[in-house]
Amino acid sequence: MGDSVISCMPIDSKVIISNSGLPESKLFGDLYFSREDGLEETKYVFLSGNRLEKMFQEQKIFKIVELGFGTGLNFLATLNCWKQYYRVGKKLSYIGIERFPLSSEQIFQALSRWPELEHKLLLKNYPTKHRGVFEIKMLEWTVELTLIFDDINNALKHNLNSVDAWFLDGFAPSKNPDMWSEFIFKKMAEYSSESATFATFTAASMVRKGLEKAGFNVSKHKGFGRKRDMLVGNIRSKPINYPNHLSNIITEKKAIVIGAGIAGASAAYSLNKRGWEVTVYEKENDIALRASGNDCGILYPRIEAIWNNITEFYYQAFEHLLYILKQDTLSEICRFNQCGLLILPQKEEEIVRFKKIDLHSKESYVKLISSLEASEISGVEINNPCLYLPRSGILSIPKLCKFMLSQERIQVKTNTEITELKFENNRWHIFSHGSLIDSAETLIIANSYAAETLLPLQSAQIQKIRGQVTYLPEMKSELKSVLCYGGYITPSRNGYHHLGATFDKHFFSLETNPESSYKNLAQLNKFLPDFIDQGINAEELKGRVGIRCYSKDKLPLIGLCPNPGFYSTNNNGQHPYLKGLYLSICHGSRGALSGILGGEIIASQINQEPANHTITQETIDLINPARFLLREQRKLL
């Protein structure tokens, strides 16, 4: 090289910057950009290779993913191009993935030779950490830069749906083969929008063949400067099982939500946080009068014996709810009591499962504790080891719904039952008993089991299950935390413990009945025989009834609504999803958690963001409303 080395940090990236500012990775023995002219190379390979000037003029919302963010040169060159064509209402999302991030100083040294680049803007908010997901917003031109500092295989587990252009800028395949694997090409195809393009400086045959196999058309172009060839191309065909690949062009930030329970309230709230105007239609005369009416709801995540996607989903939901509750005085408003929750084993064998959970879980989330500790924490005598969730507790679900729906730019229209939907001229029109009520490009169905009356959802085999909670007057023993044992009991609130809840599959009366109270009391008695004081008469106890909604696999349906026509034998080129139509239903007995996260996931999908940054594609697939149809289809193949 002939340039002397003046810096060598951070350790991980093993980058050296020469006196002339040319960065090189010692780890991979390769340069970050061309010795001839890095900026011109970027413009030639990535900007022209993806025809960005043309695309920026034509498309309102554009998403680029760069594999190998390096010095940020490609991003800054792209930003300059975007600025030329930027108009109000347009949005650029740029996701840069990098395993060995450079430091701010190294970037500054590498890029300061090009004063026309906005490197100061990048460095102002450039992360100091070397692992994680970071967002930098450039509001002036509506640009969102997301930096994923992680191994490429982990990074591609994030939901990067609807990518319009790919920059493949890892070190050369011979020097860093991990950046050019079949897995990566497959993921690229999955995440591509229907007109996605890619460009790369290399013309290596394994890259060409890999991309072709994954579903891209690939062609060789003359390379930059002295390089003979490079590759460009576009998506040819996409795997059908990818849920969110509808490149939905939104022309208005206005959405309709049907149902003002926790699922609908959360979707409205998360969209509102992103600047959307939302109208919520509710059949009843107030918010959260149906399943979400539990004033003493418990935060009880589903935890499997292994840390699988189900455990992960509920863990994320739990953390998300706690995060929301930290705002202002919200925990006070919702009367959140972080009293902890204990799960008692229902059978001796269950302790083995608890031990497995203890092994794989974070202590701050859930841990196994002895019967002595459990007795001390709860204030009542417990004879078995228990799982303990120290940050769990009870809260008023209706108060949370009301808070979420009380935001500016959210309108709630009660006493309005939506009975019919029609899709015309790219908009969803909603009707109530024959009258057109409203229309929007984006519609979210959050009306629980009644969704079936509006849409063909047979594949999910939606099931209703009645539940009755019993209000038990405060007993002599002072219970300090929630106990779960198949049923559950909460610490006393306003003089009553809430005993929950029955599961009735065959009868759906909304009136309370004494038989259900007997069941709740009997279940408690089995686990805490000394808890209930003498003289309690089940017939006199009050309570509350709600109807839960379950899918075939007991997991919620969250995301774009599938188009059953696509899965029929004669689908005539129909789309796999119904454009602009989202579902958040089937939250079963854990809606305080899944309903809340569901709203956030949908809002981030609608806004075409990487969902919440922490939710992996596998987790999104788990709750994809099309999963049952996809499984059926796979069986037939």
Structure tokens at 517: 């109270």
Provide the minimum distance between the beta carbon of 386 and ligand FAD in the complex, in angstroms, as a whole number: 18
**Rounded to the nearest whole angstrom, what is the least distance from the CB of residue 257 to ligand FAD in the complex?**
9
Q: Which is nearer to ligand FAD, 91 or 548 (CB)?
A: 548
Does 158 bind ligand FAD (CB under 6 A)? Our answer is no
Residue 598 Cβ, how far from ligand FAD at the closest point, in Å? 8
The DSSP bridge pattern shows strands 277-281 and 254-258 to be parallel
Q: Return the number of the residue (99 or 283) whose C-beta is nearest ligand FAD.
A: 283
Tell me the window of 111-119, 143-151, 260-268, 523-531 that interacts with ligand FAD (CB under 6 A): 260-268
Pair 255, 443: CB distance under 8 Å: yes
Total of chain residues touching ligand FAD, rule CB under 6 A: 40
Using the minimum distance from each CB to ligand FAD, give the nearer residue, 161 or 502. Answer: 502
CB 490 within 8 A of CB 296: yes
Number of neighbours of residue 485 by Cβ within 10 angstroms = 19
Under rule CB under 6 A, residue 260 binds ligand FAD: yes
Non-local CB neighbours of 139 within 8 Å, separated by 6+ positions: none
Residues in contact with 337: Cβ distance below 8 Å, sequence separation at least 6, in sequence order: 393, 394, 395, 491, 493
Residue nearer to ligand FAD on the CB measure, 99 or 587: 587
Identified binder of ligand FAD from the candidate list 592, 602, 603, 626, rule CB under 6 A: 592
Could you give the CA distance from residue 472 to residue 6 in angstroms, rounded to a whole number?
Answer: 74
- Minimum distance of ligand FAD from residue 538's CB (angstroms): 17
Note whether 398 binds ligand FAD by CB under 6 A: no
Give the one residue of 107, 450, 558, 629 binding ligand FAD; rule: CB under 6 A. Answer: 450
Please report whether residue 491 would count as binding ligand FAD according to CB under 6 A. Answer: no
262 is a site residue for ligand FAD (CB under 6 A): yes
Instruction: Please give the Cα distance from 313 to 403 (Å, whole number).
Output: 24
Residue 590 CB, nearest approach to ligand FAD (Å):
4
Contact 572, 583 (CB under 8 A): no
Shortest Å, Cβ 508 to ligand FAD = 11
Neighbouring CB atoms inside 10 A of 340's CB total: 17
Q: What is the number of H-type helices and E-type strands within the chain?
A: 18, 31
- CA dist list (Å): 41 to 72, 80, 95, 130, 542: 14, 15, 20, 27, 74
Q: Where are the alpha helices (DSSP H) in 197-305?
A: 205-214, 262-273
In the complex, least distance from residue 549 CB atom to ligand FAD, rounded to whole angstroms: 6
Q: Per CB under 6 A, does 404 bind ligand FAD?
A: no
Asked if 342 interacts with ligand FAD (CB under 6 A), we say: no
- Residue 331's H or E segment, with its range, is helix 330-333
Q: With binding defined as CB under 6 A, does residue 267 bind ligand FAD?
A: no
> Between residues 170 and 390, which has the closer beta carbon with respect to ligand FAD?
390
- Both tokens assigned to 599: 């709203």
Closest to ligand FAD by CB, 92 vs 291, is 291
Q: Tell me whether residue 250 or residue 592 sits nearer to ligand FAD (CB atom).
A: 592
What's the token pair of residue 486? Answer: 């198949």
CB of 486 to ligand FAD, least distance (A): 14
Q: Which is nearer to ligand FAD, 251 or 461 (CB)?
A: 461
User: Using the rule CB under 6 A, is 281 a contact of ligand FAD?
Assistant: yes
x-or-dash pattern for ligand FAD, window 530-559, by CB under 6 A?
----------------x-x-----------
Question: Least distance to ligand FAD from the beta carbon of 517, Å?
Answer: 12
Residue span 185-214 as binding mask against ligand FAD, x where in contact by CB under 6 A, dash where not: ------------------------------
Residue number, 293 or 576, with CB nearest to ligand FAD: 293
Distances (CA, A) of 61 to 64, 125, 305, 579: 10, 23, 42, 16
The answer to whether 369 and 363 are in contact (CB under 8 A) is no
Q: Is 501 in the site for ligand FAD (CB under 6 A)?
A: yes
Where does this chain touch ligand FAD (CB under 6 A) — which range of 50-58, 126-134, 282-290, 359-367?
Answer: 282-290
583 interacts with ligand FAD by CB under 6 A: no
Binder among 99, 283, 320, 579 for ligand FAD (CB under 6 A): 283
The C-alpha angle 622, 280, 88, rounded to 5 degrees, equals 85
Q: Provide the 3-class DSSP secondary structure of residue 317.
A: helix
CA distance 264 to 280: 8
Answer left, alpha or beta for residue 573, where phi above 0 means left and psi between -120 and 50 means alpha.
left
Binding of residue 261 to ligand FAD (CB under 6 A) = yes
The site map against ligand FAD for 288-307 (x = CB under 6 A) is -xxxx-x--xx-x-------
> Could you tell me which residues come within 8 angstroms of residue 194 by beta carbon, excluding any fewer than 6 positions away?
235, 238, 245, 247
* CA–CA separation, 220 and 200 (whole Å): 10
Binding residues for ligand FAD (CB under 6 A)? 258-264, 281-284, 289-292, 294, 297-298, 300, 417-418, 446-448, 450, 467, 469, 500-501, 546, 548, 585, 587-593, 595
